[in-house]
Chain A
Amino acid sequence: MSLLTVEVVTPEAMKFTGEARQVQLPGVLGEMGVLPNHEPLVTMLNPGVVEVRSPEGTKIFAVAQGFATIANNKVACLVDDAVEAGKVDTAKVSDLVAKLERELAESNDERTRNQLAFLKAQLSLKG
């Protein structure tokens, strides 16, 4: 069975490259699973969780807003930021969440909302 090549890329660095049997993406139209031989697609991503399932185990990332390209069994997630499960600084993130929630209560800014969703995704990895 052919495998997918998966890349998680942020503007600052290549966070992950590896192979997988299946990738779960937080698409804007809903959670989607990508299997090998998927048709070429570019999908926008909401802040959320990316799961890379490979024979060796599953890697989980919290990602910020971005998009993913799928073509020729290659999945590239280009996201503003990504944090791998287990590398989340819970205390710092919780503080930021509290701060952003206050800000969001005052002004319903889309960017703040996205940022908050990303942070919450990070926290969800812990639980």
Chain B
Amino acid sequence: MASERDLKRRIKAVKNTEQITKAMKMVAAARIKKAEDVLKAARPYSKLLKEVVQDLTAGMDEVVHPLMTVRPVTRTAYLVVTSDKGLCGSYNNNLLKLVWNTFGSAPKESYKLISVGGKGDKFFRRRKLDIDKAITGWSPSFAMAQELANQVTDWFLDGTVDEVKLIYSQSISAITQKPVVERILPMSKDAVGEDKPGAGGGGFAFEPSADAALNILLPRYVQNIIYRVLAEARVSELGARLKSMSAATDNANKLAAELTLQFYRIRQDNITKEILEIVGGAEALRASK
């Protein structure tokens, strides 16, 4: 049985841990707000861009653009977005499990890999997957999205890869995340032309020409998707961290309560024992008189 002193030490340790996880929980809660703001601030641009692309494609009989060419797939580029830091529960684990199931055992010639986030980088190195580009210590910015988008569109256009997929964690709600695979290239006609609001075609004239407009707009569409995904992955990560740190705090709290109870019980036992000894000793003394 643990001694009083041992228990006291353990209780202190558990409470210390609780303090730390509580602080981390609060930090995550504050950051999640900021990350959501980033996501929100991106909406006006996304919305307008989508409207213009739909308007543009609505006026065309058939939309043809190199970024929409469907080829038989011999090689796929994967862009995997993980977090830099741990302590976010099963966030990276679930994500990387999906990655592994998607192309973990595929031959090296069949994929290109861009890894965003320190956790992904470590995982791929350990599993000896070929990483073509690794980014660690990231935070979502459009410049970063643009760089990534340029890389994958270049690969797609020069035929290095025949499709591009993103693997990241979707943020379903503040505390629910779901790892998903999303294909961004070739762009599907649905993506650029579907679900247009009733009115549609605003009868825009395009300057200098509709084709030139596609050349400007479609790459931005890809960049914008990647930017949205980066921002969303960050929200997801913080949500996962908030959840797991909150659980850790609760656990520590419960454990500390249990240990404290145990501590009091032992102390009570010890005191009882001592009183019994004293009383016993006194009785013995009196009897011997």
Contacts and interface: CB of A to CB of B under 8 A. Distances in A.
B225 to A, nearest CB: 11
B206 A11 contact: no
A11 B223 contact: yes
Contacts of A65: 216
Interface string A22-50: 00000111000000000111111000000
A114 B220 CA distance: 14
Interface residues of B, number: 32
B73 interface: no
B198 interface: no
B206 A42 contact: yes
B253 interface: no
B208 A42 contact: no
B62 to A, nearest CB: 20
Contacts of A13: 41-42
Given A9-B44, A67-B216, A40 B52 contact: no
A69 interface: yes
Contacts of B142: 10-12, 80-81
B217 A40 contact: no
B49 interface: yes
Contacts of A29: 207-208
B207 A27 contact: yes
A38 B207 CA distance: 14
Q: Is the interface of B mostly helix, strand, loop or mixed?
A: helix
B203 interface: yes
Interface string A43-83: 11000000000000000000001110101000010101100
B65 to A, nearest CB: 15
A39 B216 contact: no
A66 to B, nearest CB: 8
A14 interface: yes
A71 B204 CA distance: 8
Contacts of B206: 41-43
Contacts of B220: 66, 78, 80
B150 A111 contact: yes
Contacts of A67: 52, 213, 216-217
A23 B142 CA distance: 26
Contact of B41 (A12, A42, A111): A12
Interface of A: 7, 9-14, 27-29, 39-44, 65-67, 69, 71, 76, 78, 80-81, 111
The 7 A-B residue pairs with the shortest CB-CB distance, nearest first, are A43-B207, A13-B41, A11-B142, A42-B204, A11-B45, A9-B45, A40-B204
14 contacts: A9-B45, A11-B42, A11-B145, A12-B38, A14-B44, A28-B208, A40-B205, A41-B205, A42-B56, A43-B206, A44-B208, A78-B45, A81-B142, A111-B150
Interface of B: 38, 41-42, 44-46, 48-49, 52, 55-56, 141-143, 145-146, 150, 202-208, 212-213, 216-217, 220, 223-224, 227
Given A40-B202, A42-B207, 8 more contacts: A12-B141, A27-B207, A42-B52, A65-B216, A66-B216, A67-B213, A67-B217, A69-B204
